[in-house]
């Protein structure tokens, strides 16, 4: 295994291990997801057709809000004891650190998304199970794009006093193409449409994933050192 892969894996492993032990992020996300399920239910009522029509937007609204919380948490961890200085001083390639942080954030978000989709199906009594594999693919691809740009901005705002406000303000406008494609693909998956109809949206989503990940790999060092 190369030093780059080892460093990325170490950051990923460290983030997941700390999260598993501290449980702060997971608990906050779980509580937040349950709260959203209740709120959506009260807003939309028991009409399952209405819920089903709104579901793609609701899912991604939940994913985004939870994702912003998760991203903030990922770098709050690095602020404790000035661990971010330890990352800066490490001779490791900073792109490897970025990749590890991105993988850690994506893994936590996807885990939350799986739980949220399953809870939504059960709580609203919706027959969405046939669409779950495709929804999962969309969730992973959408989350990678969202977390790619989010990790960069979370690192950028980590030292700022107004970081909780600035992170969503900077992140959400830039993540619009990813979110548009992800919502549309979720809608198509839930409607059981074929892959042909979804392909242009997949191209958009995967294209932005590649752009955001490459931009993150190339610029993370400057963001971290700034």
- Residues in contact with other proteins by the rule CB under 8 A: 3, 6-7, 9-11, 14, 17-18, 21-22, 77, 80-83, 85-92, 97
Tell me the two tokens of residue 70: 């998760």
For the CB of residue 29, give the shortest distance to other proteins in the complex, in Å: 17
* Nearer CB in complex with other proteins: 73/134: 73
Dist CA 32 CA 24 (whole Å)? 12
Minimum Å gap between C-beta 135 and other proteins is 32
Closer by beta carbon to other proteins, 84 or else 174: 84
**Rounded Cα gap, residues 155 and 72, in angstroms:** 9
Nearer to other proteins, 91 or 196 (CB): 91
Shortest distance in whole angstroms from residue 1 CB to other proteins: 9
Number of Cβ within 10 Å of residue 43's Cβ equals 11
Nearer CB in complex with other proteins: 92/126? 92
Choice between 8 and 117, CB closer to other proteins: 8
Shortest CB 119 distance to other proteins, Å: 27
**Distance (Å, rounded) from C-alpha 112 to C-alpha 35?**
14
Smallest distance, other proteins to C-beta of residue 31, A:
20
Place of tokens 């009522």: 45
Decide: 175 and 146 in contact? Cβ < 8 Å.
yes
**Structure tokens of 190?**
């839930």
Evaluate whether 50 touches 132 at the Cβ level (below 8 Å): no
The residues, ordered by sequence, that sit 6+ positions from 83 with a Cβ below 8 Å of its Cβ are: 77
In whole angstroms, the minimum distance from the beta carbon of 201 to other proteins comes to: 38
CB-CB contact of 141 with 206 (8 Å) = yes
Select 21 or 161, whichever has its Cβ closest to other proteins: 21
């Amino acid at each position: 295994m190369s030093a780059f892969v080892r460093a990325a894996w170490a950051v990923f492993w460290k983030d997941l291990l700390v999260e598993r032990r501290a449980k702060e992020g997971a608990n906050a996300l779980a509580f937040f997801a349950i709260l959203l399920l209740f709120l959506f239910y009260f807003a939309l009522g028991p009409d399952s057709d209405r819920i089903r029509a709104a579901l793609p937007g609701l899912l991604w609204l939940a994913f985004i809000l939870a994702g912003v919380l998760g991203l903030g948490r990922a770098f709050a961890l690095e602020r404790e004891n000035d661990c971010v200085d330890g990352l800066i001083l490490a001779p490791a390639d900073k792109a490897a650190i970025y990749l590890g942080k991105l993988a850690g954030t994506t893994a936590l978000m996807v885990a939350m998304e799986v739980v949220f989709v399953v809870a939504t199906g059960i709580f609203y009594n919706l027959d969405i199970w046939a669409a779950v594999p495709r929804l999962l693919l969309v969730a992973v691809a959408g989350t990678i794009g969202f977390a790619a740009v989010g990790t960069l901005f979370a690192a950028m705002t980590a030292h700022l006093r107004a970081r909780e406000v600035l992170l969503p303000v900077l992140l959400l406008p830039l993540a619009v193409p990813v979110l548009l494609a992800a919502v549309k693909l979720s809608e198509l998956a839930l409607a059981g449409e074929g892959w042909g109809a979804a392909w242009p949206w997949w191209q958009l989503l995967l294209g932005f994933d590649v752009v955001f990940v490459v931009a993150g790999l190339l610029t993370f060092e400057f963001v971290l050192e700034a």
